[in-house]
């Protein structure tokens, strides 16, 4: 959780032209400036924080624009190519700003009206009309220069109007840039320690900083236990009312365990507020300290609420997956903590889920709360959540630590389908994949992810691929 001023995306926008043209072709500059205004309006529909520097049509303006973008601290720049322009009017802007650049190669219409164009009697006016349509002309020049000087760029080619594909791609770049900014300022809390012997989840925290930015706050379970002591009876009662509103609490749940969970939920909110957390990973083995064990054993409902409210929580101290969950949630897709549960070869589906907190905001129906006499492989007992991810399209994401260091993003698209699940007080769902269950499992595993992943609603792999481009991370799509 970061302050709005830090996390809000700021978009840079400028158009390019050639100042030599303006006295030669009456009205051309004003026409192109009008097109640039249209681009700003369309971008503002997705995000209003825009620094529009207008038409940059000579080298002096290019240096000024680069300085302005740097001063304004823009996060991404859209370069609208309105007509032919010299590459020397572009390079100083992007070199100085040093942020991702998206080239908008947009024609004002689907095509020139050839009949009307060729019926014009004034060839000077004809040339001016053509120049209003020749946005594609300088793009190879710009791309050549960017490649030779090492400026990474991305292109969108299409039309200014009536082009859903083009403007949907613009929207996706904006969304990806927003998520990059969120990750750059996200504060992740890591409470407790790794699950001993679970080697795949061990992570180089400095690599997390290197790829995503943000901050990692190492927390002690004792702090949560201490905060639990400060929770009043009234606060616990109010949180119990919230539980009954959000969850389908089964009749065999004990009031004592629900009250413990309510106390811990309030304490968790205070822990998150104190450290300004935007995500969290946790695990505690337990060594006989009753207060610590009570805190961890009663944490599931509170963490489920946090996860549903944009502060995803991953169990088993799975830091990489907390990052994946934060990415998915920042895209508005959710991101439920999951691992393989079983394979159903009869129906060609893979069951994925996990014990501990679930993303109740993307649940199919109301999430059940069930009592568990034992948390398998973990300390304690208490109440837990049982949910399935909404039926429909889903995306799986894993942050993978590669051999030799560095991170990559592993993604797959599938579908959450109805059918029987394991009613054991855990999250679990049934997933179908276009390549079939066997091939999906073999392919996914071959890239060496940890055994956890984040699952969100909708097919958003194209957005994740754009995020990978902005973060300069490899993205592998399995299906």
Closest CA to 311 of 275, 285, 339, 340: 275
For residue 2, pLDDT over 60 is answered with no
Q: Give the largest CA-CA distance in the chain.
A: 93
Distance of alpha carbon 241 from alpha carbon 260, whole angstroms:
14
> Over 80: is that where the pLDDT of 438 sits?
yes
Top CATH class of 4-182 equals: alpha beta
State how far the Cα of 322 lies from the Cα of 194, in Å rounded to an integer: 13
Give the C-alpha separation, 16 to 25, whole Å: 16
| pLDDT number for residue 218 | 97
On whether the CB atoms of residues 426 and 359 are closer than 8 A, the answer is no
- 270-273 own/partner pairs: CB under 8 Å, 24+ apart: 270/227, 270/230, 271/189, 271/219, 271/223, 271/224, 271/227, 272/1, 272/189, 272/306, 272/311, 273/1
Residue 379 confidence (pLDDT)? 67
- Rg of the chain's alpha carbons, rounded to an integer? 26
End-to-end CA distance of the chain: 32
DSSP state of 108: S
Dig out the tokens for 265 from the structure. Answer: 């939920």
Structure tokens at 307: 């996860």
pLDDT of 397 above 70: yes
Strand order across the 279-283 sheet? 215-219, 187-192, 279-283, 313-314
139 pLDDT tier (thresholds 50, 70, 90): very high
pLDDT at residue 5, rounded to an integer: 53
Backbone angles phi, psi at 45, to 5 degrees: -60, -30
Reading phi first (left if > 0) and then psi (alpha if -120 to 50, else beta), residue 77 is in: beta
| Dihedral, CA of residue 298, residue 285, residue 373 and residue 233, to nearest 10 | -20
**pLDDT tens for each residue of 168-183:** 999 999 999 999 999 9
Average pLDDT over residues 38-44: 97
Least confident of 65-79, 89-103, 224-238, 380-394: 380-394
Two tokens at 463? Answer: 């957005």
The CATH number of the domain covering residues in 186-477: 3.20.14
Residue 6 is predicted with a pLDDT of: 63
If pLDDT is split at 50, 70 and 90, which confidence band does 55 have? very high
Tell me how far apart the alpha carbons of residues 145 and 42 are, in angstroms, rounded to a whole number: 28
Are 4-182 and 186-477 in the same CATH fold? no
Task: Identify the burial level of 50 via C-beta atoms within 10 angstroms of its C-beta, where 0-12 means exposed, 13-18 middle and 19 or more buried.
Answer: middle
Which residues have CB under 8 Å from 190's CB, separation 6+? 216, 217, 218, 219, 280, 281, 282, 317, 319
Residue ranges covered by each domain of the chain: 4-182, 186-477
What is the pLDDT averaged over residues 34-42? Answer: 97
What is d(CA 460, CA 392) in angstroms, rounded to the nearest whole number? Answer: 13
User: Mind listing the pLDDT tens digit for each residue in 355-379?
Assistant: 778 899 999 999 999 887 766 666 6
| pLDDT value of residue 374 | 67
Beta-sheet pairing, 187-192 with 279-283 = parallel
Q: Are strands 392-401 and 382-386 parallel, antiparallel or unpaired?
A: unpaired
Instruction: Count CB-CB contacts under 10 A for residue 250.
Output: 13
pLDDT in tens, 190-207: 999 998 888 999 999 999
Please, what is the average pLDDT of the chain?
93
pLDDT at 4 over 60: no
Give me the pLDDT at residue 385, please. 86
pLDDT exceeds cutoff 60 at 244: yes
The pLDDT assigned to 427 comes to 84
Lowest-pLDDT choice from 106-110, 162-166, 221-225, 372-376: 372-376
Full-model pTM: 0.94
In the prediction, which pLDDT does 84 show? 94
Nearest alpha carbon to residue 154 among 89, 93, 104, 85: 104
Bridge partner residues of 226 (DSSP): none
Phi, psi of 107 (to 5 degrees): -80, 145
pLDDT confidence of residue 286: 76
The pLDDT of residue 276 is 97
Task: Determine the average pLDDT of the residues in 17-45.
Answer: 95
Question: For residue 263, how many C-alpha atoms fall within 13 Å in the half-sphere facing its CB?
Answer: 22
Q: What is the pLDDT of residue 373?
A: 74
Q: Please write the tens of the pLDDT for every residue from 233-243.
A: 999 999 999 99
Q: How confident is the model over 108-123, as pLDDT tens digits?
A: 999 989 898 888 888 9
- pLDDT tens track for 247-298: 999 999 999 999 999 999 999 999 999 999 999 999 988 777 888 888 888 9
pLDDT on residue 148: 96
pLDDT of residue 386: 86
Q: Which residue blocks in 45-90 are alpha helix, DSSP H?
A: 59-72
Length of the chain: 479
Query: 309-357: per-residue pLDDT in tens?
Result: 999 999 989 999 999 999 999 999 999 999 999 999 999 999 998 877 8
């Amino acid at each position: 959780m970061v302050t709005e001023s830090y996390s809000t995306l700021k978009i840079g926008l400028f158009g390019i032209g050639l100042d030599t043209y303006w006295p030669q072709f009456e009205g051309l500059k004003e026409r192109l400036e009008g097109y640039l205004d249209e681009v700003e309006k369309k971008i503002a529909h997705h995000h209003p924080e825009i620094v529009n520097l207008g038409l940059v049509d000579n080298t002096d303006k290019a240096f000024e624009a680069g300085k302005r973008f740097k001063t304004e601290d823009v996060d991404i720049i859209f370069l609208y190519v309105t007509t032919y322009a010299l590459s020397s009017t572009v390079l100083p802007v992007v070199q100085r700003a040093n942020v991702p650049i998206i080239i908008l190669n947009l024609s004002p219409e689907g095509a020139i009206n050839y009949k009307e164009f060729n019926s014009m009697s004034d060839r000077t006016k004809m040339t001016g009309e053509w120049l209003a349509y020749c946005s594609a002309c300088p793009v190879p020049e710009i791309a050549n220069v960017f490649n030779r000087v090492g400026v990474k760029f991305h292109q969108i080619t299409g039309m200014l109007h009536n082009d859903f594909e083009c403007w949907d791609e613009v929207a996706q770049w904006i969304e990806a840039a927003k998520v990059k900014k969120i990750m750059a300022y996200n504060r992740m809390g890591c409470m407790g320690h790794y699950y001993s012997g679970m080697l795949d989840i061990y992570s180089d925290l400095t690599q997390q900083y290197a790829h995503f930015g943000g901050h990692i706050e190492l927390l002690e379970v004792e702090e949560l236990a201490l905060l639990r002591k400060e929770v009043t009876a009234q606060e616990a009662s109010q949180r119990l009312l919230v539980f009954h509103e959000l969850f389908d609490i089964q009749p065999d749940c004990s009031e004592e365990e629900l009250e413990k969970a309510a106390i811990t939920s309030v304490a968790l909110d205070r822990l998150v507020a104190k450290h300004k957390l935007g995500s969290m990973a946790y695990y505690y083995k337990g060594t006989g300290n009753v207060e610590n064990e009570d805190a961890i054993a009663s944490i599931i409902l509170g963490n489920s609420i946090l996860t549903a409210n944009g502060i995803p929580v991953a169990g088993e101290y799975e830091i990489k997956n907390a990052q994946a969950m934060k990415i998915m949630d920042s895209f508005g897709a959710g991101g439920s903590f999951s691992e393989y549960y079983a394979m159903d070869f009869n129906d060609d589906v893979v069951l994925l889920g996990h014990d501990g907190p679930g993303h109740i905001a993307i649940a199919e129906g109301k999430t059940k709360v069930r009592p568990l006499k034992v948390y398998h492989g973990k300390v304690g007992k208490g109440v837990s959540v049982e949910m399935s991810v909404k039926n429909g399209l889903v995306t799986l994401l894993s942050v993978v630590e590669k051999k030799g260091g560095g991170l990559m993003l592993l993604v797959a698209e599938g579908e959450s389908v109805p059918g029987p699940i394991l009613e054991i007080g855990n999250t679990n769902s049934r997933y179908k994949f276009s390549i079939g269950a066997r091939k999906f499992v073999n392919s996914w595993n071959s890239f060496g992810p940890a055994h956890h992943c984040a699952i969100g609603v909708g097919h958003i792999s194209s957005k994740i691929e754009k995020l990978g481009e902005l973060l300069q991370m490899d993205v592998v799509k399995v299906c």
